[in-house]
Amino acid sequence: MLVSLAVFIVAFTMGGLNYVTTVLQARTHGMTLMRMPLSIWGIFVATVLGLFAFPALFVSCVMMAFDKLIGTSFFMPAVLSLGETLDTAGGSPVLFQHLFWFFGHPEVYIVALPAFGLVSDVLSCHARKNIFGYRMMVWAIIIIGGLSFIVWAHHMYVSGMNPYFGFFFAFTTLIIAVPTAIKVYNWVLTLWEGNIRLTVPMLFAMGFIFTFIHGGLTGIFLGNVTVDLPLSDTYFVVAHFHMVMGVSPVLVLFASIYHWYPKMSGKMFNVTMGKIHFWATFLGTYAIYLPMHYLGFLGVPRRYYAMGNTDFIPDSAQALNANITQAAIFVGVVQIIFFINIFWSLKFGKKADPNPWEATTLEWQTPDNPPAHGNWGEKLPVVYRWAYEYSVPGAKDDFIPQSVAPEDVVMNEGAGPYVDRSEEH
């Protein structure tokens, strides 16, 4: 496993260089960095994080593999295993934890940042409103990316590291909540007075706002050393990270798959099945993870298959656990609906309109649907504005694609000529 991880990291580095170079050097005319859709910003910054965080995993993988295979003692202390003393001695497991979490925490944002970007685009499109505070959104992505490298030891409050470290890392951890909260406010404000279309992707995107706020708030609990110590290694932690980085990005993933499905496949998915999939997943998820917070407060530890005689845990915890298991099985089974929908629609779905959501970004303006090889044919599109030109007063359509020249925008009679104020955000 260590070797395959190392190979994966080498491969990711190669792929990541491709992403970064493409975003920096291969944009089309007019597509300045500050006109890019937030999806691309999220993927770009996440890739940069990946490039600089994975080496820590690589380093720890290499040294761990040597410890396991050759008997070096980079990390391995003297170990008594099944009554036998292993050959290793003197290594530092805390050193491994530092290296691992120096990778591990940015990894959380490698998962989250693309989701932040994608959900911004889905919310804006289906609320028919420009994203609130575009520049602030970009800066928040960059600031979160930067801060994610100096919060890693908040995973290690109980590892036995120097207690003063905890002081510093609690501080940085709570600071990272600021740009994250800005993003949440901006998503909510994007919905404010929007012309919300409750499509399947929109449902998932709005579900994300709920689960993310929920998981984010419990993160503020756990970021404080004094609160974390009693809650460490309990179900509260399980509930927190599943809400914030398990369920939330997965909901965005579903939102994105439904949103871009007509473009990728040229077919429309079944809306009823999509809605059933959403409600079962969203409510089912709450049925799994909400009770876990209470189990955590009771002090139920994670990773144990049986509790034995533990007086502080009442018997009712068992009833709750059984309930969580039922909910988890239910949510798992419901996902079959999603797969049936995706594969069934691929073959029998209605032919999709090239731009069914009336979106502004470039991929919806391709000459073929789904896009043919090379996407654009002979001539590359030219970008004239940002990706969020929705509901412009006086314009005939409620969206103006990025690639439509200002003089080609059709206005209502008597509305006067189109003035591009799109980027005064």
Partner 1 sequence: MNLFRAILEKPWKQQTASGLPAADDINLITPPQKIALLFFLAVVSVMFGLFITAYFIRMELDDWRPMPEPVMLWLNTFVLFLSSVVLQWTHNMLKKDMTKQFRVGLILGAILTLGFVYGQVTVWGQMQSEGYFLYNNPANAFFYVLTGIHAIHLLGGLFVWTKVIFKFWSGAEFEELRLSTELCALYWHFLLLVWLVLFALISYT
Contacting residues toward partner 1, per CB under 8 A = 13, 17-18, 20-22, 24-35, 51-52, 55-56, 58-59, 62-63, 66, 70-74, 87, 89-92, 95, 98-99, 102, 135, 138-139, 142, 382, 384-385, 405-406, 420-424
DSSP 243: I
Short-list 352, 198, 339, 334, CA closest to 261: 352
Q: Which CB atom, from 18 or from 318, has the smaller least distance to partner 1?
A: 18
Nearest approach, Cβ of residue 304 and partner 1 (Å) = 32
The angle, 0 to 180 degrees and rounded to 10, between the axes of the packed helices 134-147 and 38-69 is 10
Q: Which CB atom, from 243 or from 400, has the smaller least distance to partner 1?
A: 400
Q: Which CB atom, from 21 or from 325, has the smaller least distance to partner 1?
A: 21
Give the whole-angstrom CA distance, residue 290 versus residue 396: 46
Nearest approach, Cβ of residue 32 and partner 1 (Å) = 5
Give the whole-angstrom CA distance, residue 94 versus residue 105: 16
The SS3 of residue 234 is: strand
Nearest approach, Cβ of residue 220 and partner 1 (Å) = 27
Nearest approach, Cβ of residue 123 and partner 1 (Å) = 22
Give the whole-angstrom CA distance, residue 68 versus residue 42: 37
Q: Which CB atom, from 99 or from 342, has the smaller least distance to partner 1?
A: 99
CB 117 within 8 A of CB 181: no
CB 271 within 8 A of CB 200: yes
Residues sharing a CB contact under 8 Å with residue 412, sequence separation 6 or more, in sequence order: 394, 395, 396
Nearest approach, Cβ of residue 188 and partner 1 (Å) = 24
Q: Which CB atom, from 59 or from 268, has the smaller least distance to partner 1?
A: 59
Distances from the Cα of 184 to the Cαs of 149, 338, 401, in angstroms?
21, 27, 26
Nearest approach, Cβ of residue 56 and partner 1 (Å) = 5
Q: Which CB atom, from 32 or from 325, has the smaller least distance to partner 1?
A: 32
Give the whole-angstrom CA distance, residue 210 versus residue 217: 11
Nearest approach, Cβ of residue 405 and partner 1 (Å) = 6
The SS3 of residue 371 is: coil
Q: Which amino acid is at 387?
A: A
Short-list 193, 216, 190, 219, CA closest to 205: 190
Q: Which CB atom, from 135 or from 197, has the smaller least distance to partner 1?
A: 135
Q: Which CB atom, from 78 or from 329, has the smaller least distance to partner 1?
A: 78
Nearest approach, Cβ of residue 116 and partner 1 (Å) = 16
Q: Which CB atom, from 56 or from 237, has the smaller least distance to partner 1?
A: 56
CB atoms closer than 10 angstroms to residue 237 = 20
Nearest approach, Cβ of residue 325 and partner 1 (Å) = 40
Short-list 237, 257, 247, 238, CA closest to 213: 247
CB 106 within 8 A of CB 47: no
DSSP 411: B
The SS3 of residue 372 is: coil
